[in-house]
Structure 1
Amino acid sequence: MYESQSYDVILKRMLDRVPITLDKREGSVVYDALAPAAAELAQMYIELDGTLRLGFGETTSGVYLDRRTSDRGVTRKPASPALRKGMFWNGGNQPFDVPIGSRYSCEQLNFVVKARLTAGQYELECEAVGESGNSVFGVLLPIDYVAGLACAELTDVLLPGEDTESDDQLRIRFLQKVREPGTSGNVADYRRWATEAVGVGAAKVVPLWDGPGTVKVVIVDTERQPATPSLVSDVAAHIEEVRPIGAAVTVVSAIGLAVEVAATVTLASGYSLQMVQDSFIQLLEAYLRETAFELTYVSYARIGTLLIGTSGVLDYTGLTVNGSTGNVALQSEEVPVVGAVNLGV
């Protein structure tokens, strides 16, 4: 709105208001008196334009986005800790039960035992919130002495830890609520209730999937990957608290469909095959995240575009996706995940 109010435009408008009988040339008293004021007014218009953008959901950010979304009851999801599986053994290599609340470390991160799953297996919570708790695996060392414990290992991710919700993720949920208002348990309501849960990246709702009064909610995590059983349970519990009376709700994880890519590439000078393959996998992962729950197929042409656009690739031949040279169809509950990627030279 204020983009046209530049320094030159403002200064010209001010000089035009000065009588022609006075010297208005650059360096004159009139010019030198008006130029600093024009510069300050131009800066003010720039700041006004930024302030105007902060007032709209599509262009605001940070704390101003929080204030905008809170008016509609949408709040930013806080960072959450990872829940992991820990396995414990005694000196005879038998499952060993450890105290609830005991603490262990793995690669500079600390974990606390929260609940017993089965003999020698426990649910552990990372003491550091965020995604950092998802990526460590291996030997657990007790912080405090546990009599009888011989060894321990950190294994599965039961519920991924999440960083604080980004502006883009929050904006999507806010605009979804504004543009698709819920009305007593319609599809928009169930989608909103599912995505309110920490760790959910997207949801698909199937009404009347098993007859009158039934609803199926299919979810993925924030990486648009199949959800863990713990995340499915959390979403089901949340929806159970807010759903209309009489609705029978089933929450399931999306099914991962592996997308396997093979091709022969011509490498640019200075690039190794491993470098190119790693870069291509990153691009492929980003594309498949965009595809999840948005398209009904994985585009063969798009994957070819990603491959030729990968740094170090001059050309390619023999591209196949899941063994064919066509699009890969996705069923209603499937999301694409990266499978085997085999690039040759």
Structure 2
Amino acid sequence: MYEHMTYDFILQRMLSRVPDTIDKREGSVIYDACSPAAAELAQMYIELDINYNLSFVDSASGDYLSRKTAEFGVNRAGASPAERKGLFYNSANALMDVPLGGRYAIEDLTFVVKEKISTGTFKMACESAGTVGNEQFGTLLPIDYVANLSRAVLVEVLVPGEDEEPDDQLRERFYAAVNEPPFGGNVADYKQRINAIPGVGATKVYPVWQGGGTVKCTIIAADWEPPSPTLVDEVQTIMDPTDNSGLGIGQAPIDHVVTIVGVSGVTIDVETTLTLAAEVTPGQVQADVEAVIASYLLELRKDWANQQQLIVRTAQIDARILTVTGVEDVAGTMISGSATNLILEADEVPQRGEVTIHG
């Protein structure tokens, strides 16, 4: 808005107000008197432009964006801790129970025993919030002595940890709340409520899917993978507990019988024939090709909630493979044994399987 208010522009405008009978050349008294003031005014306009942009949702960032969206009741989601499954064994290599509240370390992270799932199998909560809690797998070391414990292992992710909501995601959620106001159990209400639950990445809502008053909601986890049964159960309990279905005990309106399910993962095997640069072997590009295919499938999973059904396209895979250094051409690509695009069902998402390269 104030881009034209530069130092030179302001200085010349100031000098234009001085009569021509006075010496206004560089180095003159009037020039040297106006120059510092013009510099300060130019800096003021820069800061004014910054503050102007920080006053609107489409251009604000950081705390300014948080304060602006909060005026409309849309608050930035904070980081949430990961919930993991822990296995505990005694000296006979049999599963054994351990005390709730016990703390165990892996690398720089600490996990706390939160809830018993079955004998020797417990839900573990990471003390550090964020996606960092999703990354480590393997041996857990007890911080305090646990009698008869031989080893402890941290395994699958039950509820993915999430980092603090980034600006773009907060802005998108703000526009959704303003442009699609949630009310009384409409589709927008279900989406916004379920997406706000820690561990949930996105939601599809199917109203009256088994007649009046029934609602089916399909979710994908925050790490853009099919959710664990634990996460599905947690969302079900929050929205409409199965023991009191339709009674309005959860967040769903009275008489709404809500069914929460997770997306299904479909393994995508890719077989491709490549023309490689001189002295480049298929093994040298294998990891990079796998990475670009995995990135493409991740893009599709992130867009799942916005599409009626996902389509894995051979042309898109070919285009991404061509970006790999050492690949000169793609002669043909097969997706799960077929040379055509793979059309998934409404609640299916693609996951990378085997990638076979022919040189």
Same fold flag (TM > 0.5) = yes
After superposition, residues 220-231 of structure 1 pair within 5 angstroms as 220-231=220-231
Pair 1:273-2:285 in alignment: yes
Partner of 1:124: 124
Secondary structure of the equivalent of 1:24?
Answer: coil
After superposition, residues 67-146 of structure 1 pair within 5 angstroms as 67-146=67-146
Out of 312, 315, 318, the position equivalent to 2:329 is: 315
Counterpart-to-counterpart distance in 1, 2:191 and 2:75: 16
**Structure 1 residue 195: Cα displacement:** 0.9
Moved more, 24-33 or 216-225: 24-33
**Structure 1 residue 19: Cα displacement:** 2.1
**Structure 1 residue 277: Cα displacement:** 2.6
Pair 1:258-2:267 in alignment: yes
After superposition, residues 1-345 of structure 1 pair within 5 angstroms as 1-240=1-240, 241-267=250-276, 272-277=284-289, 279-281=291-293, 283-295=295-307, 296=309, 297-345=311-359
**Structure 1 residue 194: Cα displacement:** 0.8
Counterpart-to-counterpart distance in 2, 1:39 and 1:278: 54
Report Cα offsets for 1:216-244 as digits up to 9, x if no partner.
Answer: 11111223221222222232233233222
Secondary structure of the equivalent of 1:236?
Answer: helix
Q: Would you say the 8 A contact 1:292–1:336 is kept in 2?
A: no
Moved more, 198-207 or 3-12: 3-12
**Structure 1 residue 210: Cα displacement:** 0.9
Counterpart-to-counterpart distance in 1, 2:330 and 2:134: 35
Q: Would you say the 8 A contact 1:284–1:338 is kept in 2?
A: no
Counterpart-to-counterpart distance in 2, 1:43 and 1:258: 57
Moved more, 310-319 or 165-174: 310-319
Report Cα offsets for 1:4-62 as digits up to 9, x if no partner.
Answer: 22223222322322222223333333333223222222222222221122122222111
Secondary structure of the equivalent of 1:242?
Answer: coil
Q: Would you say the 8 A contact 1:276–1:312 is kept in 2?
A: no
**Cα pair distance change 1:298/1:282, threshold 3 Å:** closer
Counterpart-to-counterpart distance in 1, 2:128 and 2:155: 17
Counterpart-to-counterpart distance in 1, 2:130 and 2:215: 32
Report Cα offsets for 1:119-177 as digits up to 9, x if no partner.
Answer: 12111222222222212112222222222222222212111122222222222211110
RMSD of equivalent CA atoms: 2.3
Counterpart-to-counterpart distance in 2, 1:111 and 1:193: 28
Counterpart-to-counterpart distance in 2, 1:30 and 1:286: 63
**Structure 1 residue 285: Cα displacement:** 4.5
The residue identity in structure 2 corresponding to 1:243 is: A
Counterpart-to-counterpart distance in 1, 2:302 and 2:95: 42
Give me the identity figure in percent. 47
Counterpart-to-counterpart distance in 2, 1:243 and 1:206: 14
Q: Would you say the 8 A contact 2:297–2:350 is kept in 1?
A: no
Q: Would you say the 8 A contact 1:57–1:69 is kept in 2?
A: yes
Q: Would you say the 8 A contact 2:293–2:317 is kept in 1?
A: no
**Structure 1 residue 318: Cα displacement:** 1.4
**Cα pair distance change 1:8/1:307, threshold 3 Å:** farther
Equivalent residues, number: 345
The residue identity in structure 1 corresponding to 2:257 is: A
Q: Would you say the 8 A contact 1:283–1:306 is kept in 2?
A: no
Report Cα offsets for 1:246-270 as digits up to 9, x if no partner.
Answer: 1111111112233333323344589
The residue identity in structure 2 corresponding to 1:210 is: Q
The two structures have a TM-score, normalised by structure 2, of 0.88
**Cα pair distance change 1:312/1:8, threshold 3 Å:** farther
**Structure 1 residue 198: Cα displacement:** 1.3
Q: Which runs of 5+ in 1 are unaligned?
A: none
Moved more, 135-144 or 193-202: 135-144
Q: Would you say the 8 A contact 1:279–1:311 is kept in 2?
A: no
Q: Would you say the 8 A contact 1:293–1:335 is kept in 2?
A: no
Counterpart-to-counterpart distance in 2, 1:16 and 1:290: 57
The residue identity in structure 2 corresponding to 1:125 is: A
Report Cα offsets for 1:263-320 as digits up to 9, x if no partner.
Answer: 2334458973245235424532443244322333233333222222234433322123
Q: Which runs of 5+ in 2 are unaligned?
A: 241-249
**Cα pair distance change 1:208/1:273, threshold 3 Å:** same
**Cα pair distance change 1:110/1:38, threshold 3 Å:** same
**Cα pair distance change 1:337/1:19, threshold 3 Å:** farther
Secondary structure of the equivalent of 1:174?
Answer: helix
